[in-house]
């Protein structure tokens, strides 16, 4: 297992390097110009100076190498300095956003909590809804509750989140006035009232994302339960007189959770990507919104870094899913 | 004819007689010519269709999907108002005889716009799916069949799976919309861009499924038989392997339409899809969000159509999967 993990970690490095190169080159060959918004009255030699100040003067491979160095060496050093009060990264150039001229990671650190809270909550709730539904619909296969579960989950992942989000805003935000339709990120939780306000504004985005994810996870749960319910060990467990409850909730559930856990791990990065849309709908200024504004503004360092962070998430969670699969299921051996 | 041969022939004749006699007693045995059993020819596709018909949800979905297809394809011939015709005096009108589904903020007829939008949305879905499935099946077949290409192609697939797709799609669409719309005209350029972007980023699932199936098929006897009579690889793949992996490809294709439609409308919804005067369902929804409080129907109608189409396609895919799985068929 350790061998496998090390091998996969080593393999992840070229994968990530390649992905970063793809994103970098995509941005490189694009016709967009970060100085496109500069007025035409600015003389060309000044423009050239500005270009150099943005670090755009050099050849692409030098800039790529510089970015790699900044991402993998200077930024971690900087965190290290901040945590331990040392001065290793002093004077080193961090990744700077074209838009705000502030370090990209500082902006990301500001935006990350909003995304993490909403996405994290919604995913936890999705799992909590999906697993019982999956168990019941598999246990009572083809019953009305299974049919209903199938239908609802089909609807759940057929309705795009931007549609469910907008409908929820119309119904609960505008008509019923239960929840605020715009997410207020300046809100700080200090007392009970502000906590309630925070919960109220989180209800709609979390529900939208949770429903969408629960629909998918419950389908996997159901299929996995169905696979296991027909196994011989279930018959054995029943034959030796275990209660139905023990059979289903102990024996079958534990074995069925193995593939579902990996599906959950694999799905998490996609959820972060999908939160892009939800953030746009509910006007949450999280990572997704940051990325979209950066794309509009031709902010190359920001786009590159945020997209690459998404890629890291995917690679890491794929790795976690693979390792979890091996840990949870002793029959699976990677060697 | 040698003696042993004669003996063997006699033995065979005896055996045939014995089994024939037994068959007369046990009439449940299949007849010698199974093709004409029951007086009706049975083909795989007929079986699939029969099984598909028994899946109620899929049948309803199929009917609805055909309905949506007719709505967007035949509809514009019956309802001939130009979807881009601006009638500023009739703007924001509700449901009326002149405009059954009302008009938008520029007085353009919603019914006509929904038809035109659906045309584009479904065309994007179908084209992107064809690209993705062709690419995916090709890579899956090649990497499953040729052992030497397997490892590099699967690495490539894993690389693509590790790409953050939605951010990349957004990136591709914003970066390349200008040059493409200059070369092919605004509508066609964006269409090519979106379709190829979605196609190029969603072939991986199909490739993995097809590769897995091909690897399993390669161990079967009929492949060995075909190989031993010297079938060249090209004919091997087209004749023997491709038809046998057709069912997972078809399921992947059906589900691919749904994903492509959703992705396109998501892009349009983020304002990075088709140009404003070019309606698609996602674009209509996006345009209506600003005034959703006053005119909720303009948001809901395109949204419902997207959801309905995707739901139908998903149900059809589900039904197809059940119908094509020989383990379930006939239950």
CB atoms within 10 A of CB A44: 7
How close, in Å, is residue A191 to chain B by CA atoms? 32
β-partners of residue A103 are A96
Q: Summarize the confidence of residues B10-21 as an average pLDDT.
A: 56
pTM: predicted TM-score of the whole model, two decimal places: 0.80
Cα angle for residues B167, B164, A152 (degrees, 5° grid): 90
Chain A residues with CB under 8 Å of B165 CB are: 273
Which parts of B253-299 are beta strand (E)? Answer: none
Probe site for chain A from B166, B294, B300, B306 (most A CB atoms < 10 A)? B166
Distance CA A97, CA A67 (A): 12
Q: Are A70 and A63 in contact (CB under 8 A)?
A: no
Which has the minimum average pLDDT: A79-83, A324-328, B23-27, B326-330? B23-27
B13 pLDDT tier (thresholds 50, 70, 90): low
The pLDDT of residue B6 is above 70:
no
Per the domain annotation, does A34 fall within a domain?
Answer: no
Give the separation between CA A183 and CA A208, rounded to whole angstroms.
14
What is the reported pLDDT for A37? 65
Does A333 reside within a domain? no
Instruction: Give the integer Cα–Cα distance in Å for B214 and A158.
Output: 30
Q: Do A291 and B163 touch (CB under 8 A)?
A: no
Model pLDDT, residue B138: 92
Interface contact B292, partner A, CB < 8 A: yes
* Residue A160 included in any domain: yes
For A18, the closest chain B residue by CA position comes to: B159
HSE-up of residue A248 (Cα within 13 Å, Cβ side)? 15
The answer to whether the beta carbons of residues B230 and B160 sit under 8 Å apart is: no
Q: Which spans in chain A are helix H?
A: 2-29, 44-53, 60-69, 75-84, 104-139, 144-158, 161-168, 192-229, 232-239, 244-246, 253-282, 287-296, 300-328
Tens of pLDDT, residues B222-241? 888 998 998 888 888 888 88
A180 shares contact with chain B (CB less than 8 Å) = no
Provide the number of structural domains found in chain A: 1
> In percent, how much of chain B has pLDDT > 90?
5
Nearest Cα residue in chain B from A17 = B159
pLDDT of residue B286: 85
Residues 268-287 of B with CB under 8 A from A: 269-270, 272, 285
Whether the CB-CB separation of A64 and A24 falls below 8 Å is answered with yes
Reading chain A (335 residues) residue by residue, the pLDDT tens digits are: 778 888 888 888 888 888 888 888 888 776 666 666 667 777 777 777 777 776 676 777 888 888 888 888 877 777 877 788 777 767 677 777 777 778 888 888 888 888 888 888 888 999 999 999 888 888 888 788 888 888 888 888 888 888 888 888 888 888 888 887 777 777 777 788 888 888 888 888 888 888 888 888 888 888 888 888 888 888 899 899 888 888 888 888 888 888 888 888 888 887 877 778 888 888 888 888 888 888 887 788 888 888 888 888 888 888 888 888 878 877 766 65
Interface contact flag, B293 A170, Cβ < 8 Å: yes
What is the model's pLDDT at position A77? 79
| B161 touching chain A per CB within 8 A | yes
Rama region for B33: left / alpha / beta (φ>0; ψ in -120 to 50; rest):
beta
Asked if the Cβ–Cβ distance from B171 to A311 is below 8 Å, we say no
Q: How many contiguous H segments (helices) and E segments (strands) does chain B have? A: 14, 0
pLDDT reported for residue A36: 64
**Cross-chain Cβ contact B270/A15 below 8 Å:** no
B266/A contact by beta carbon, under 8 A: yes
> Which residue, among A158, A281, A286, A313, would best test binding to B if mutated, counting the most B CBs under 10 Å from its CB?
A158
Over residues B36-95, the pLDDT tens digits come to 555 556 677 787 788 788 877 788 888 999 998 888 888 778 777 777 777 777 666 667
Contact yes or no for A160/B314 (Cβ under 8 A): no
A52 lies in a domain?
A: no
- On whether the CB atoms of residues B298 and B291 are closer than 8 A, the answer is yes
The answer to whether the Cβ–Cβ distance between A155 and B307 falls below 8 Å is yes
Say yes or no for a CB contact (<8 Å) between B162 and A19.
Answer: yes
Question: B156 in contact with A at a CB cutoff of 8 Å?
Answer: no
| Three-class secondary structure of residue B109 per DSSP | strand
pLDDT of residue B25: 47
Q: Which residues on chain A are in Cβ contact (under 8 Å) with B173?
A: none
Mean pLDDT of B133-152: 89
Query: How far is it, in rounded angstroms, from Cα A266 to Cα B325?
Result: 26
A130, A110 contact by CB (below 8 A): no
CA distance linking residue A33 with residue A36, whole number of Å:
5
| A162·B310 Cβ contact <8 A | no
Q: Of B172, B262, B118, B318, which is closest to residue A219 (Cα–Cα)?
A: B318
pLDDT computed for residue B2 by the predictor: 54
Do residues A129 and A219 touch, judged by C-beta distance below 8 A?
no
- Of B162, B270, B311, nearest to A280 by CB-CB distance is B270
Residue A19 domain-assigned (yes or no) = no
Distance from CA of B296 to the nearest CA of A (A): 7
Query: A155: which chain B residues are within 8 Å (Cβ-Cβ)?
Result: 307, 311
Classify the C-alpha dihedral B173-B174-B179-B182 as positive or negative.
positive
Query: Tokens 């009970």 correspond to what residue?
Result: A192
Any domain includes A182:
yes
Q: Do the domain assignments include residue A109? A: yes
pLDDT value at residue A34: 64
Find the CATH number of the domain harbouring A323.
Answer: 1.10.3720.10
Among A18, A166, A310, whose Cβ lies nearest the Cβ of B167?
Answer: A310
Contact of A163 with chain B, judged by CB distance below 8 Å, is answered with yes
CA distance A304 to A16: 13
- Residue B18 or residue A221, greater confidence: A221
Residues A165, A205 contacting (CB under 8 angstroms): yes
Whether the CB-CB separation of B130 and B137 falls below 8 Å is answered with no
Q: Hunting for tokens 């964006």 — which residue is that?
A: B190
Give the mean pLDDT of B118-136: 90
C-alpha–C-alpha distance, residues B128 and B253, integer Å: 10
What's the CA gap between A242 and A226, in Å, rounded?
Answer: 19
Predicted complex ipTM: 0.79
Sequence-distant (6+) residues with CB within 8 A of B276 are B283, B287
- Under the banding of pLDDT at 50, 70 and 90, the label for residue B161 is confident
Coil, strand or helix at B103: strand
Token pair of A265 as six digits: 């791990």
Report CB contact under 8 Å: A170, B314: no
* pLDDT for B300: 85
Give the pair of three-digit tokens for residue B44.
Answer: 């795989």
Whether B318 has its CB under 8 Å from any CB of chain A: the answer is: yes
Tell me the average pLDDT across B299-304: 86
Helix (H) or strand (E) holding B141: helix B110-145
Residues of A in contact with B307 (CB under 8 A): 155, 158-160, 163
DSSP conformational letter for A96: B
pLDDT at B331: 43
Using CA atoms, how far apart are residues A21 and B236, in angstroms rounded to an integer?
38
Task: Give B172-183 pLDDT, tens digit per residue.
Answer: 887 787 777 777
Q: Which of A150, A154, A291 sits opposite B167 (nearest CB)?
A: A291
CA distance A83 to A110: 17
pLDDT for the residue A27: 81
Cβ atoms of A101 and A299 within 8 Å: the answer is no
Burial of B135 (0-12, 13-18, 19+ CB in 10 A): middle
- Residue B260 to residues B194, B265, B275, Cα–Cα distance (Å): 10, 9, 18
Q: Does B176 sit within 8 Å of A273, measured CB to CB?
A: no
* Chain A nearest C-alpha distance from B178 (Å): 8
CA distance B134 to B38: 38
| CA A272 – CA A111 distance, rounded (Å) | 13
Q: Report d(CA A66, CA A55) in Å as an integer.
A: 10
Q: Which domain holds residue A151?
A: 104-328
Q: What is the dihedral of CA B159, B162, B167, B169, to 10 degrees?
A: 40
Count interface pairs A-B at CB distance under 8 A. Answer: 121
Q: Which residues of A162-176 are buried (b: 16+ CB within 10 A; e: fewer)?
A: bbbbbbbbbebbeee
Q: At residue A103, what are phi and psi to the nearest 5 degrees?
A: -60, 135
In this complex, the residue of B162, B172, B292 whose CB is nearest that of residue A166 is: B292
Helix (H, G, I), strand (E, B) or coil at B20: helix
Residue A54 resides in a domain = no
Least Cα distance to A277 among A181, A121, A172, A161 occurs for A161
């Amino acid at each position: 297992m350790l061998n496998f993990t090390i091998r996969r970690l080593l393999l992840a490095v070229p994968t990530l390097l390649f992905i970063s190169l793809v994103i970098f080159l995509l941005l490189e060959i694009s016709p967009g110009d970060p100085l496109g918004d500069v007025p035409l009255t600015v003389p060309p030699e000044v423009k050239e100076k500005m270009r150099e100040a943005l670090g755009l003067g050099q050849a692409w491979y030098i800039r790529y190498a510089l970015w790699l160095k900044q991402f993998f060496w200077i930024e971690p050093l900087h965190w290290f300095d901040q945590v331990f009060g040392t001065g290793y990264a002093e004077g080193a150039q961090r990744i700077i956003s074209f838009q705000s001229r502030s370090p990209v990671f500082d902006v990301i650190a500001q935006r990350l909590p909003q995304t993490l809270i909403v996405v994290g909550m919604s995913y936890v709730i999705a799992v909590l809804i999906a697993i019982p539904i999956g168990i019941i619909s598999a246990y009572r296969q083809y019953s009305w509750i299974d049919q209903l579960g199938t239908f609802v989950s089909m609807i759940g992942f057929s309705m795009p989140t931007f549609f469910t989000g907008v409908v929820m805003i119309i119904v609960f935000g505008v008509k019923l006035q239960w929840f605020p339709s715009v997410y207020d990120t300046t809100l700080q939780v200090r007392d009970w009232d502000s906590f309630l306000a925070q919960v109220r504004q989180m209800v709609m985005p979390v529900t939208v994302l949770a429903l969408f994810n629960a629909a998918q996870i419950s389908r996997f749960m159901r299929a996995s339960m169905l696979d296991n319910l027909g196994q011989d060990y279930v018959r054995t467990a029943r034959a030796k007189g275990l209660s139905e409850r023990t059979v289903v909730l102990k024996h079958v559930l534990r074995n069925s959770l193995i593939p579902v856990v990996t599906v959950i791990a694999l799905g998490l990065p996609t959820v972060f990507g999908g939160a892009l849309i939800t953030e746009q709908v509910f006007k949450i200024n999280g990572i997704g919104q940051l990325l979209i504004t950066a794309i509009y503004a031709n902010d190359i360092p920001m786009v590159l870094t945020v997209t690459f962070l998404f890629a890291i998430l995917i690679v890491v969670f794929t790795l976690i899913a693979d390792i979890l699969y091996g840990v949870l299921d002793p029959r699976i051996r990677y060697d | 004819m040698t003696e042993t041969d004669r003996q063997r022939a006699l033995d065979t004749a005896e055996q045939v007689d014995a089994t024939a006699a037994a068959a007369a007693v046990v009439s449940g045995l299949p007849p010698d010519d199974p093709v004409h059993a029951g007086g009706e020819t049975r083909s795989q596709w007929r079986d699939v269709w029969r099984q598909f018909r028994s899946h109620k949800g899929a049948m309803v979905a199929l009917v609805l999907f055909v309905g949506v297809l007719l709505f967007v394809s035949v509809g514009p011939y019956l309802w001939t108002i130009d979807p881009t015709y601006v009638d500023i005096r009739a703007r924001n009108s509700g449901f009326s005889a002149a405009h059954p589904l009302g008009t938008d903020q520029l007085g353009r007829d919603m019914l006509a716009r929904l038809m035109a939008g659906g045309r584009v949305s479904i065309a994007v879905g179908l084209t992107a799916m064809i690209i993705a499935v062709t690419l995916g099946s090709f890579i899956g077949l090649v990497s499953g069949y040729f052992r030497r290409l397997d490892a590099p192609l699967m690495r490539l697939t894993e690389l693509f799976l590790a790409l953050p797709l939605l951010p990349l799609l957004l990136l591709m669409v914003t970066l390349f919309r200008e040059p493409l719309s200059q070369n092919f005209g605004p509508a066609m350029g964006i269409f090519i861009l979106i379709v190829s972007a979605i196609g190029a980023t969603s072939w991986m699932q199909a490739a993995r499924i097809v590769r897995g199936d091909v690897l399993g098929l390669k161990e079967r006897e009929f492949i060995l038989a075909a190989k031993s009579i010297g079938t060249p690889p090209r004919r091997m793949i087209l004749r023997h392997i491709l038809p046998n992996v057709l069912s997972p490809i078809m399921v992947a294709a059906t589900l691919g339409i749904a994903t492509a439609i959703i992705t396109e409308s998501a892009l349009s919804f983020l304002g990075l899809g088709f140009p404003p005067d070019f309606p698609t369902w996602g674009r209509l929804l996006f345009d209506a969000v600003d005034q959703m409080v006053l005119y909720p129907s303009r948001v809901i109608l395109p949204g419902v159509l997207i959801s309905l189409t995707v739901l139908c396609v998903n149900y059809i895919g589900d039904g197809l999967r059940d119908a094509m799985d020989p383990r379930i068929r006939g239950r």
